[in-house]
Amino acid sequence: MLHVFLFSHQDDEFGVFKVIEDLKDNLENAHFIYLTSGTFDGNLSASRNKESLNVLSKFGITSEQVHFIGGQQQIADGQLYKNISAAENTLHHLFKKIGVPNTLYIHAWEGGHQDHDAAHLLGLALATRYNCLKNTFQFSLYNGYALPWIFYRVLTPISHNGEIIKIRISWKERWRYLKHCCSYPSQLKTWIGLFPFTLCHYLFDGHQKLQPCSLEPIIKAPHEGTLLYEARKVTSYGEFSEKTTGFIQKLVKESKEQ
């Protein structure tokens, strides 16, 4: 059973620490794939790669199980939706080497970051092609659903994405995961914003939350109102949709033909 984790950026693994922890008896069959370089110019980021490798090693993951295809393909941070077909082709070549996924863990369709939404589309394409949609789960990192301006929530799934599967995280694990969240010094500015919310999540909630996946939600925007990446004036859903509509149409057509 091959477990594949699709991440947009180095440090996105913080959203599934508990899932990784629970694979301890099957770790050798887990692979972690990063879809962008983690830099705005597309160049390889040795520091970001090292940070994620270091964190994953705390769970027993080896470097051979980690694949930085975004850096290899020079897909810049924020530009995955413009390179989605190229990323898909690279993933298929990778799976010829490591085997095809039986279980996928992918970013949620939540409008928080355009790379996360693009990674969700890629995950659904893989799940459809390899017939593992029933074993594909989405995890939330952050979104601005029903919030004004640029406010956002962290590790809080959007309810209309489906049933929320909750897995309790022990207090010992929570403190360890918080320590891991301090292991990304190159992303200090980002984590100044994320850490307080992550701390509150572990203190007052303490659950890993996953949701099943389906193709139905991707026919429209992740949620009503302004998406977080629109509020931040990074890009618009209109531009995102323009670049991904063909990919989505192809995906839906393939799913109906199966």
| Domain edges within the chain | 3-169+208-257
pLDDT in tens, 48-58: 999 999 999 99
pLDDT of residue 258: 79
Q: pLDDT grade, residue 257 (50/70/90)? A: confident
Q: pLDDT grade, residue 11 (50/70/90)? A: very high
pLDDT in tens, 36-47: 999 999 999 999
Average pLDDT of the segment spanning 207-233: 98
Q: pLDDT grade, residue 116 (50/70/90)? A: very high
Q: pLDDT grade, residue 232 (50/70/90)? A: very high
pLDDT of residue 256: 87
Q: Residues near 235 by Cβ (< 8 Å), separated by ≥ 6?
A: 78, 114, 229
Q: pLDDT grade, residue 32 (50/70/90)? A: very high
Whether residue 211 is predicted with pLDDT greater than 90 in this model: the reply is: yes
> Architecture of 3-169+208-257 per CATH?
3-Layer(aba) Sandwich (3.40)
Average pLDDT of the segment spanning 224-252: 97
Whether residue 165 is predicted with pLDDT greater than 90 in this model: the reply is: yes
pLDDT of residue 25: 87
pLDDT in tens, 48-90: 999 999 999 999 999 999 999 999 999 999 999 999 999 999 9
Q: pLDDT grade, residue 112 (50/70/90)? A: very high
Mean pLDDT of the chain: 97
pLDDT in tens, 90-107: 999 999 999 999 999 999
pLDDT in tens, 118-152: 999 999 999 999 999 999 999 999 999 999 999 99
pTM for the whole structure: 0.98
Average pLDDT of the segment spanning 231-247: 98
pLDDT of residue 38: 98
